[in-house]
Amino acid sequence: MRHKVDTLKLGRSSAHRRAMLANMVSSLFYSGRVETTLVKAKAVRRMAERMITLGKQGTLHSRRLAVARMHDENAVKKLFDEIAPAYTGRQGGYTRILKLGQRRGDAAETCLLMLVEGGEVAGKEKAAAEAQA
């Protein structure tokens, strides 16, 4: 039984899975959205949200941890300089999954994994504060 085992194996070896997730997270940070299968998107979301949390800390140690997991220094630089500062007022939920339907070839459930706009929550809070004033 798989009690409390939370790793999605995705039909790959552990090294292939880690490399695939690192590449998909880098692609997500570069473009802001990735089209993939639902199961892969759920695995990528876990890693992406952890990387954004590291980026919000902004320390040298967290930057080194991010480089160790993502293997792409340019993506880590973009994460720490542009993406993470946009989510400073947000406690989590940095990504969104939109289901697109089944893929034609193998009927796999496809979806769009995208970053939530960073200023979205801050904009709502600002509008609420202006409405009260």
Q: What is the CATH number of the domain that holds 103?
A: 3.90.1030.10
pLDDT band at 130; cut points 50, 70, 90: low
Q: Which residue range forms the structural domain that includes residue 66? A: 14-132
Distances (CA, A) of 80 to 39, 41, 44, 75, 101: 27, 22, 18, 9, 33
pLDDT band at 17; cut points 50, 70, 90: very high
Q: Is residue 121 in a domain?
A: yes
Q: What is the pLDDT of residue 6?
A: 83
Q: Is residue 4 in a domain?
A: no
Q: Is residue 25 in a domain?
A: yes
Query: For 29-60, what is each residue's pLDDT tens digit?
Result: 999 999 999 999 999 999 999 999 999 999 99
Q: Is residue 9 in a domain?
A: no
Q: How far apart are CA 109 and CA 36, in angstroms?
A: 9
Mean pLDDT over 25-32 rounds to 96
Q: Is residue 59 in a domain?
A: yes
The radius of gyration of the chain's CA atoms, rounded to the nearest angstrom, is 17
Task: State the residue for tokens 């639902």.
Answer: 38
DSSP 129: H
Domain count, the chain: 1
pTM surpassing 0.95? no
Q: How far apart are CA 103 and CA 117, in angstroms?
A: 27
Q: Is residue 80 in a domain?
A: yes
Q: Is residue 38 in a domain?
A: yes
Q: Is residue 1 in a domain?
A: no
